[in-house]
Amino acid sequence: MGDMNTQMLDKYRNNFLHEVEEKVDDGHWVKMCMQCGVCAGSCTFGPDWEHTPQKIFMMIRAGKREEVLTSHSMWLCTSCYNCMVRCPRELPITHIMHGLASYAHRLGLAPKNQPTRDFSLIFWDNCTKTGRVNELRMTISVYFREGILSGIKKMWTLRNIGRGLFFAKRLNPMELFVSHGCKDKDGLRRALKKADEIEARRRGYAVQPRGYS
Amino acid sequence: MADMKTAAYICKGCGIGERVDTAQMAKVATKEGKMHLVREHDFLCSAAGVQTISDDIEKEGVTHAVIAACSRRAKTEAFNFTNIALSRANIREGVIWAQPDTEEARETTQEMADDYLRMGCGELKKMKLPAGVAETGHTKRLLVVGGGVSGLTAALEASRTGYQVVLVEKSAKLGGWSAEMYKRMPFREPYAEPQDTGMAELIKEVSDDPNIKVITNAVIGRTDGAPGRFKVDINVESGPSVSEEVGAIIQATGFTTYDIGKLPELGGGKSPNVIDQAGLERMASEAAAKGLAMRRPSDGGEIKCVVFVQCAGQRDETGKHLSYCSGFCCGASIKQAMYFKDANPGVDTAVIYDDLRVPGNGEDFYRSAQSKGVTFTKGKVTAVEAKGEVCEVKFRDLILDEDATIAAADLVVLATGQVPNSGVNIDIPAEEVEKMEVKPISILNLTYRQGKDMPQLAHGFTDSHFICFPYETRRTGIYSAGPVRRPMDMAQATEDATGATLKAIQAMENAALGRAAHPRSGDLSYPIVQLDGCTQCKRCTVECPFGAIDEDEKTYPVFNESRCRRCGTCMGACPVRVISFENYSCDTVGAQIKAVDVPDEFSEKPRILVLACENDAYPAIDMAGMQKNCYSAFVRVIPVRCLGSVNAIWITDALSAGFDGIMMLGCKHGDDYQCHFVKGSELASVRMSKIDDTLKQLSLETERVISHEVAITDMGRVPQLINDYAAKINEIGMSPLKGFA
């Protein structure tokens, strides 16, 4: 992954805006921002961000590659779409945020132990294996991502909810051992592989080996 | 007057008949008003009612009539009798609608109605039917000064409307700045690309037009006269001077770019690679003529990075540079950045702006530049330093709030503003002009007593009121158009020139008919002066907001009626009261004041005189009535043409007649004035500030005369002001001067 970052640095020199336009989903929209600040004012997470979308766009134009890609700002996006519906220039801001997060992850620059990122990885891993999300396994993976002790603590706090789910037949302990899957698991893998190839072709990436290939 | 036959018409419609005793009013008109003919009518503005009046004029020989019905602002078409002197007593909006419909209020309402009728009768007998100015000019040629896009458009529009034009241009060729431009901002759908200026076609069309006489290499040596009869001497550089007679003048003298030499901190004058927008236009035109790309001015090197610095020497708060925004420069920089991007998308173009202002459809143009990859950075440039063949641009990024640098700009374009070419600032005293290093050069060389050029509104722009009447200047028949009036781009200048042309045509036509121009359009009355009483005090000549009055050798005032706007400021200024209009004079208002029936001091019925500006305050009071916002029954309102026309004698008349208070309601004055006659309300406030001493000498409270600024929208506030004042008068007690008149 680190190699890819070096390649991109070489390719785009100091033109980060150009890099974003070519590599990030909806990145070509960034230049259309008119810096009105409506997105920053509309964001439900506004005060908690390191950089608001408005600033992220400005930083991209100013060539602050490292700062943007290592920032955890775009990982905080909750996809509420407030900014997107309000943007007078109709920029798909939410999508750009996700695009930037994904690109940062791909380059290996995304912040380590970022909860949203960890959750996303666990979720992806879990659902692409069988074509269905195994909620019990996923929950356990998320709870124990910071170690055994903190995992037990979290489970203990939520034990009543777990019990309630069990009696309502919404939680089957057997799932821990047997996962239900979709009918054509091979077909799913092939579809995902194809999608990966298409993306790689469009964006000019080398196809990265993933768990499902 | 022997042949004066007076008549009073009292309308009973719109509820007047139910609320007041019209028979009683008829008695007032006959006995006190001494009207020859008095009629009551159920519905006076109906065809039958109007016919009654017309018949009386024809058969009974009525010459003067007072109509006691609605406000003078209502039913003007029905009561449009141009062959008699007419007074309107405002019984509807001013009395029955402004008073509560209760049994207790009946008596005071009736008193009010009676008084307004008495006032109307009083005024009527002092009025004459305006005959119109006899000495008018009939020339309907138009002089256009300046041959840029504004001047050319003005000339062409006038010619197309069927008028002859004389176009004077200082330089050798027509076109001005616009002709030097490579392209102009888009003015048509889809507002995305720079467009051809079209100046070559415009110049050709003007040059080929048989109605337009073009004189280049020439300036105006002297302008004398008035609308309809201006005599203009045109000094031609090589050759004899030309004399032309014209009816109106359009000054389209444009602008000069702000000198970038005054901006050394932004690299102005320090490097050939730092230029202004006009410089870039020239570069672009020259390069395009040769079919080449633009090259770096210092060494002819390739241009890879261009930085546009917005608000260079503009919107300056330090007082060193222009304090205003020229409005067009953001759009111009967008256009110029496109020159580079369109030729080679690889060129880096950055626009560093504080606020990007693209009025009109410029927003689409801005978007187009963004999609072409022009970078827009919100920031403030602090320094431009030449480093060899390139420049280093330092700026404060206002979004990221940090200092930033563009290390190697091949070209830096400063967006400097427009400085109007408006000639001499006539408000600067002569002794200060003496001290100036560079003496201002007059453009029009007017022979007017008040100065050689048009008065300036702000920052040297020759406007008079940019909100209410944008094309009007303070010199009747002379209009400014284009960037000399306010900063603007080509599209705005074209529109501006068209508007000014129509105004100029209107002024010529009105002058030929002896009628006033805006805002008393069509008024036939004009100031008449009795010179034998004049003390040559010069107040009228100094204070006239429109420079209509000159002075002869003996410093007597010389009135130029066609230049006059009929505001009456001269009448208000005159200490010996020798200036009057046929239908509006010290006597017509004085007679109204004296006609009011003032009860004695034990009656508990004070009388308050309201002198209200007819443009704003009077309509506001009328509208208060329409909305049934009631106010004190003790006020008597007299509309005046402008507070500037209020003569101090009226205050004296009112106080000695026993009025307990006087309210003057006029327009807002000061920098953001709203006075239709520019200076009227301000002059009134200066004059009235001196009245306090007089009041003290008479041992009267200074609160007996007050003034307020009222806007036309103040229909809710005006009744409150009146009621508060009535309460104040109640507090300080009745005037001790009652019963002496």
Which fold does the domain B258-417 belong to in CATH?
FAD/NAD(P)-binding domain (3.50.50)
Residues from chain A that touch B345, judged by Cβ atoms under 8 A, are none
Answer yes or no: are the C-beta atoms of B90 and B637 closer than 8 Å. yes
Share of chain A above pLDDT 70, in %: 94
- Other CB atoms closer than 10 Å to residue B435's CB: what's the count? 6
Does B366 lie at the interface with A, CB-CB under 8 angstroms? yes
The nearest CA of chain B is from the CA of A173 a distance in Å of: 52
pLDDT recorded at residue A202: 84
Confidence of residue B1 (pLDDT cuts 50, 70, 90): very low
Residue in B37, B56, B120, B47 with CA at minimum distance from that of residue B79:
B47
Q: Which of A17, A34, A59 sits opposite B400 (nearest CB)?
A: A59
pLDDT in tens, B258-298: 999 999 999 999 999 999 999 999 999 999 999 999 999 99
Interchain CB distance below 8 Å, A35 and B376 = yes
| Chain length of chain B | 741
Instruction: Give the mean pLDDT of B236-246.
Output: 93
Tokens of A183: 């009918």
Does B367 lie at the interface with A, CB-CB under 8 angstroms? yes
Does A56 lie at the interface with B, CB-CB under 8 angstroms? no
List CB contacts of B474: < 8 A, sequence separation 6 or more: B454, B455, B464, B545, B546, B547, B678
Q: Which of A35, A59, A89 sits opposite B378 (nearest CB)?
A: A35
In angstroms, rounded to a whole number, what is the distance separating the alpha carbons of residues B215 and B147? Answer: 10
pLDDT in tens, B193-215: 999 999 999 999 999 999 999 99
Answer yes or no: are the C-beta atoms of A182 and A132 closer than 8 Å. yes
Does A122 lie at the interface with B, CB-CB under 8 angstroms? no
The nearest CA of chain B is from the CA of A93 a distance in Å of: 17
Confidence of residue A1 (pLDDT cuts 50, 70, 90): very low
pLDDT recorded at residue B173: 94
Q: Does ipTM come in above 0.85?
A: no
pLDDT in tens, B443-461: 999 999 999 999 998 899 9
pLDDT at A51 over 60: yes
In angstroms, rounded to a whole number, what is the distance separating the alpha carbons of residues B713 and A32? Answer: 42
pLDDT recorded at residue A15: 86
Residues from chain A that touch B366, judged by Cβ atoms under 8 A, are 34
Check residue A101 and report its DSSP letter.
H
pLDDT in tens, B412-421: 999 999 999 9
Residues from chain A that touch B367, judged by Cβ atoms under 8 A, are 32, 89
Interchain CB distance below 8 Å, A58 and B378 = yes
pLDDT at A212 over 70: no
Does B80 lie at the interface with A, CB-CB under 8 angstroms? no
Residue A64: closest CA among chain B residues belongs to which residue?
B400
Does A40 lie at the interface with B, CB-CB under 8 angstroms? no
CA dihedral A194→A198→A199→A203, nearest 10 degrees, is 150
List CB contacts of B103: < 8 A, sequence separation 6 or more: none
State the span(s) of chain B assigned CATH 3.40.50: 1-129
Average pLDDT, chain A: 88
In angstroms, rounded to a whole number, what is the distance separating the alpha carbons of residues B736 and B724? Answer: 21
Residue A51: closest CA among chain B residues belongs to which residue?
B400
Interchain CB distance below 8 Å, A32 and B377 = no
Instruction: Tell me the residue ranges of DSSP E strands in B27-63.
Output: 37-41
Does B200 lie at the interface with A, CB-CB under 8 angstroms? no
Residue type at B245?
E
Interchain CB distance below 8 Å, B370 and A17 = no
Q: Which of B371, B376, B399 sits opposite A55 (nearest CB)?
A: B399
The nearest CA of chain A is from the CA of B348 a distance in Å of: 10
Residue in B254, B275, B232, B260 with CA at minimum distance from that of residue B171:
B254
Answer yes or no: are the C-beta atoms of B355 and B238 closer than 8 Å. no
Rounded to a whole number of angstroms, the distance between the first and last alpha carbons of chain B is: 25
Interchain CB distance below 8 Å, B371 and A32 = yes
Tokens of B67: 């109509």
Tokens of A98: 């996700």
pLDDT recorded at residue B696: 86
User: Long-range CB contacts (< 8 A, 24+ apart) of B354-358?
Assistant: B354/B310, B354/B311, B354/B315, B354/B378, B354/B379, B354/B380, B354/B398, B356/A34, B356/B310, B356/B330, B357/B325, B357/B327, B357/B330, B358/B330, B358/B331, B358/B334
Which fold does the domain B141-254+421-512 belong to in CATH?
FAD/NAD(P)-binding domain (3.50.50)
pLDDT recorded at residue B453: 93
Bond prior to B100 in cis (omega within 30° of 0) = no
Interchain CB distance below 8 Å, B377 and A55 = no
List CB contacts of A128: < 8 A, sequence separation 6 or more: A188, A189, A192, A211, A212
Q: What are phi and psi of B66, to 5 degrees?
A: -115, 130
In angstroms, rounded to a whole number, what is the distance separating the alpha carbons of residues B12 and B20? Answer: 9
pLDDT at A2 over 80: no
CATH number corresponding to B1-129? 3.40.50
Residue A40: closest CA among chain B residues belongs to which residue?
B399
pLDDT in tens, B343-358: 999 999 999 999 999 9
Average pLDDT, chain B: 93
pLDDT in tens, A55-109: 999 999 999 999 999 998 999 999 999 999 999 999 999 999 999 999 999 889 9
pLDDT at A213 over 50: no
Q: For testing the chain A interface, which of B363, B400, B405 should be mutated: the one with the most A CBs within 10 Å?
A: B400
In angstroms, rounded to a whole number, what is the distance separating the alpha carbons of residues B54 and B77? Answer: 14
Instruction: Give the mean pLDDT of B570-598.
Output: 95
Does A13 lie at the interface with B, CB-CB under 8 angstroms? no
Q: Which domains does chain A have, with CATH numbers?
A: 2-107 (1.10.1060.10), 113-207 (no CATH)
CA B715 vs CA B71, B97, B299: distances in Å: 15, 13, 68
Using only the alpha carbons of chain B, give its radius of gyration.
31
Instruction: Give the 3-state secondary structure of residue B715.
Output: coil
In angstroms, rounded to a whole number, what is the distance separating the alpha carbons of residues B641 and B677? Answer: 9
State the span(s) of chain B assigned CATH 3.50.50.60: 141-254+421-512, 258-417
pLDDT recorded at residue B741: 55
Interchain CB distance below 8 Å, B373 and A62 = no
Rounded to a whole number of angstroms, the distance between the first and last alpha carbons of chain A is: 17
The nearest CA of chain B is from the CA of A31 a distance in Å of: 6
In angstroms, rounded to a whole number, what is the distance separating the alpha carbons of residues A78 and B111? Answer: 74
Residue type at B605?
K
Does A142 lie at the interface with B, CB-CB under 8 angstroms? no
Q: Are strands B549-551 and B557-559 parallel, antiparallel or unpaired?
A: antiparallel
Does B407 lie at the interface with A, CB-CB under 8 angstroms? no
Q: Are strands B579-580 and B528-529 parallel, antiparallel or unpaired?
A: antiparallel
Using only the alpha carbons of chain A, give its radius of gyration.
20
pLDDT in tens, B517-560: 888 888 999 999 999 999 999 999 999 999 999 999 999 999 99
pLDDT recorded at residue A211: 45
SS3 content of chain A, % helix, strand, coil (to 5): 65, 0, 35
pLDDT in tens, A162-210: 899 999 988 888 888 888 888 999 999 999 999 989 988 888 776 665 5
In angstroms, rounded to a whole number, what is the distance separating the alpha carbons of residues B326 and B492? Answer: 12
Instruction: Give the mean pLDDT of B170-185.
Output: 95
Does B378 lie at the interface with A, CB-CB under 8 angstroms? yes
The nearest CA of chain B is from the CA of A29 a distance in Å of: 9
